[in-house]
Structure 1
């Protein structure tokens, strides 16, 4: 997971930088995203920060791709992610 610094909640709806709302979803390699997915837990569990069905985004070699965590803790590539797909993720 990338280190983004700190979010200034006073300006959360008027961001001053290119900063994802949920830094846990951005990865700079597929391997690090897979390692995060390996720690996924069922939705509602307080035992982890990644959950089944969560969207992760990998930007590697200038290409961005979206993945969804499966219940077997693997990643499935998601083609054509739309804003509607992300509702409830953040």
Structure 2
């Protein structure tokens, strides 16, 4: 996307008769260098996390498979009884 905008600006400046070259890598390097000059982030809210006396919420454990119960080994039911249990009942009016 940056290449496309650079190409557009180069085409626009060539159409106007001026040669204006904008170097994106140079801008990125300057921004990176200036970001090192920024002051350290101030404490936004809450206590210092490095302080051992800080109150924290208790940690709890909830397993993701808690309601799971094993169904194996299970003896298979006869297939005819299982099939008859799920088939629709025939209508009596016919």
TM-score (norm 2): 0.21
Higher strand share: 1
TM-score (norm 1): 0.21
Higher helix share: 2
